[in-house]
Amino acid sequence: MKLLLFFFLLHFQNSLSQILLPPNTTGYACNPNQTTPSCQTYAFFTAMGPNQLDLANISDIFSVSRPMIAKPSNLTSVTSPLVPNQPLFIPLTCTCNKANTTTNLSYAKLNYTIKKGDTFYLVSTDLYHNLTTYQSVEIVNPTLVPTNLDIGQEVIFPIFCKCPTQTQLQNQVNYLISYVFQPLDNVSSIASRFGSTTKAIVDANGDNIRPLDTIFVPVSRLPVLTQPTPTSVPLGQRSTERKGKVIGLGIGLGVCGIFLILMGGFWAYRESLWKKRADGKDKYIDRTRSSKRNDQVEVSLMADVSDCLDKYKVYRIEELNEATDSFDERCLIQGSVYKGYMDGKHYAIKKMKWNACEELKILQKVNHGNLVMLEGFCIDSNNANCYLVYEYLENGSLYTRLHESKTERLSWRTRLQIAIDIANGLQYIHEHTRPRVVHKDIKSSNILLDAQMRAKIANFGLAKSGCNAITMHIVGTQGYIAPEYLSDGVVSTKMDVFSFGVVLLELISGREAVDENGKALWVEFYENFNGDVEKHKHKLKGFIDDFLLKESISTDNVMNIMSIAIACLHKDPSKRPSMVDIVYALCKSDDLFTDISQDGFSPRQVIAR
């Protein structure tokens, strides 16, 4: 891209003379006798400015869903942030419309709601990047007074487009891509970029193309855009590499297969259902909106969750109030999580501010038997609150079980099963989501236990998608935070591995991650064993939970698990094993394996919705 820019700069002088001419302003004529009444086409658009680096913002202004842009643009994820100047193809429904008695104009009608500070000119140039002009907006909205616009007013913005004529169709021109001719462009560079020819472009647009004119690039099929590579390793590659290890566990590859198929199916399915869903949206807004509605908030909220609408149940705030006795203290489970009763079932309901709702975006991408399942959500636009409704797990958190409930202690075998469950859940978010998700807050109080004492990871409130980022804002829980994150803010999957190591220590020792003097368990562990359990075998008894000692468990087995914990707690993140290796090592632990097979346990099946 930089190289290209450099080239453009070299040829800048050639184009200077053209800049002085005013662009074509009122729109592009069409003749309904020559073209189809309406067609599907695309506009080329580049992400610019801080407000457009989120695909949701762009899909918002063009009234399409994010996957509808992601698919033709060759984007691998609808949620990852865009980079400046990232190229996109925006789908448009192009029609030929009567402008006055003598002229018909060709454009895609987009509804836009006027916000504070908007003018026809600014919206056309800044938001739509000159894919329309204010003169054309005035023609299309004859009843509006451009100098007197109300906030909240609906305006049609005519995005310039053209449908191929019968002749063009016969010549294999299936699309005329709308493209705003940039001051540094020339026709031949456009032709090669889009896989068209100089002649075809000149035939379609004339030879007097001026900068900031919208031109129509004739192509037989949409060119494939080369997108900047995401930071994570491509999924396919990783899966094959790990295949041998994962397959024995009966988990993993199936997950990503199902995931990809679902995603693929989703796109195809969504396009056909788009209309239907738009109706659903309106219904949903009606149910939740107050008399004093705020259009902007709702529109952006809906863009954020638009992908969840057909996946999760949308609850009404009244339902949740009834379920939790208006969020009464007595229903409080912990933090801001309430227990609610709806339709004959218990649910855990988490209340948060909308801007903290990152969790919903992460959860819509993950689905695994060892992650707490999201059932639905609710957005209360009156106070911009967001509620997530999860499955309710009967046996509470691992923390409570280990450290607070002195009567019902967990057996060694249950503890190992819990360790494997957590490891499986982490392996899934680390290996099978794109971009990878780092939980960032693995600790015993975020591990929940169901009726069968199987463990599920909860609370993705701090989770981050994308890897190897550096953050300035340190979050997490003392005693579990990896040293490199604390000192340098490095976010990677290896920080979850570290925290998992601490949870293993808790399971083995029955002690809390931080003792009453504020000393971290892992520090104490380090001091005692100095990275080598074998050598300090005699200290083992003092470290193991007294309750387990009564169970006559095999020392070898405990040592095995201890050495996994040691590996997880390595100070150098690159030396820590990956979750895949950990799952493998845990399951290989001999005792466990026989125990499991006797009981007919098997690694958790994936719950596919």
List active site positions: 441
Q: Is 447 in the site for ligand NAG (CB under 6 A)?
A: no
For residues 392 and 603, what is the distance between their CA atoms, to the nearest angstrom? 22
Give the nearer residue to ligand NAG in terms of CB position, either 281 or 313.
Answer: 281
- Taking the least distance from each CB to ligand NAG, the nearer of 101 and 147 is 101
**Pairwise CA distance, residues 423 & 497, whole Å:** 9
Strands 374-380 and 469-470 come out as unpaired
By CB under 6 A, name the one of 6, 20, 22, 33 that touches ligand NAG: 33
**Within 274-303, which residues bind ligand NAG (CB under 6 A)?**
300
Interface map 114-143 toward ligand NAG (x if CB under 6 A): -----------x---xx--------x----
State yes or no: residue 375 binds ligand NAG (CB under 6 A): no
Residues 51 to 110 in contact with ligand NAG, rule: CB under 6 A = 51, 54, 57, 60, 63, 74, 98-104
Residue 189 in contact with ligand NAG, rule: CB under 6 A: yes
| Residue 514 burial class via C-beta count within 10 angstroms: exposed 0-12, middle 13-18, buried 19 and up | middle
Taking the complex as a whole, how short is the minimal distance between the CB of residue 169 and ligand NAG, in angstroms?
A: 18
Whole-number Å distance between alpha carbons of 209 and 148: 33
x/- mask, ligand NAG, residues 394-433, rule CB under 6 A, reads: ----------------------------------------
Strand partners, 216: 178
| Of 111, 170, 407, 574, the one binding ligand NAG by CB under 6 A | 111
In whole angstroms, the minimum distance from the beta carbon of 432 to ligand NAG comes to 20
Min separation Cβ 10 and ligand NAG, Å: 8
CB 448 within 8 A of CB 456: yes
- Per the DSSP assignment, residues forming a β-bridge with 437 are 465
**Distance between CA atoms of residues 257 and 236, nearest Å:** 10
Closest residue by Cα to residue 503 from 436, 408, 418 = 418
Closest to ligand NAG by CB, 36 vs 334, is 36
* Residue 167 neighbours by CB under 8 Å, 6+ apart: 34
Does position 9 interact with ligand NAG (CB under 6 A)? The reply is no
Tokens matching residue 466 = 């994308």
Instruction: For residues 486 and 520, give the distance between their C-alpha atoms in angstroms, rounded to a whole number.
Output: 14
**By the rule CB under 6 A, 17 interacts with ligand NAG:** no
Q: How far is the CB of 184 from ligand NAG (least distance, A)?
A: 8
Minimum CB separation of residue 322 from ligand NAG in Å reads: 33
Residues 153-172 that bind ligand NAG (CB under 6 A): 154
The CA distance from 527 to 521, in Å, is 10
> Are 128 and 178 spatial neighbours (Cβ–Cβ below 8 Å)?
no
132 CB-near residues (< 8 Å, 6+ apart): 107, 124, 157, 158, 159, 160, 214
Please check whether residue 181 is in contact with residue 215, taking contact to mean a CB–CB distance below 8 angstroms: yes
Looking at 85, 166, 172, 208, which residue binds ligand NAG (CB under 6 A)? 208
Do 47 and 53 form a contact (C-beta atoms < 8 A)?
yes
Q: What are phi and psi of 455, to 5 degrees?
A: -95, 145
Structure tokens at 598: 């006797």
Q: Does residue 552 belong to the site contacting ligand NAG (CB under 6 A)?
A: no
With H, G, I as helix, E, B as strand and everything else as coil, classify residue 275.
helix
Total binding residues toward ligand NAG, as defined by CB under 6 A: 43
Q: Which residue from 31, 290, 478, 554 is in contact with ligand NAG, where contact means CB under 6 A?
A: 31
Closer by beta carbon to ligand NAG, 33 or else 326: 33
Cα separation, 510 vs 338, in Å, equals 27
- Does 517 bind ligand NAG (CB under 6 A)? Our answer is no
User: To the nearest whole angstrom, how small is the minimum distance from the Cβ of residue 131 to ligand NAG?
Assistant: 9
Distance CA 606, CA 609 (A): 9
Look at phi and psi of residue 129 and say left if phi exceeds 0, alpha if psi is from -120 to 50, else beta.
left
Task: Work out whether strand 469-470 and strand 464-465 pair parallel, antiparallel, or are unpaired.
Answer: unpaired
Of 1, 11, 21, 546, the residue at the interface with ligand NAG (CB under 6 A) is: 11
Using the rule CB under 6 A, which residue among 149, 212, 317, 553 binds ligand NAG? 212
Comparison of 190 and 323: residue with beta carbon closer to ligand NAG: 190
User: Does 319 help bind ligand NAG (rule: CB under 6 A)?
Assistant: no
Q: Is 308 in the site for ligand NAG (CB under 6 A)?
A: no
Residues that bind ligand NAG (CB under 6 A): 7-8, 11, 14, 24, 26-29, 31-33, 48, 51, 54, 57, 60, 63, 74, 98-104, 111, 125, 129-130, 139, 154, 186, 188-189, 206, 208, 212, 224, 226-227, 229, 300
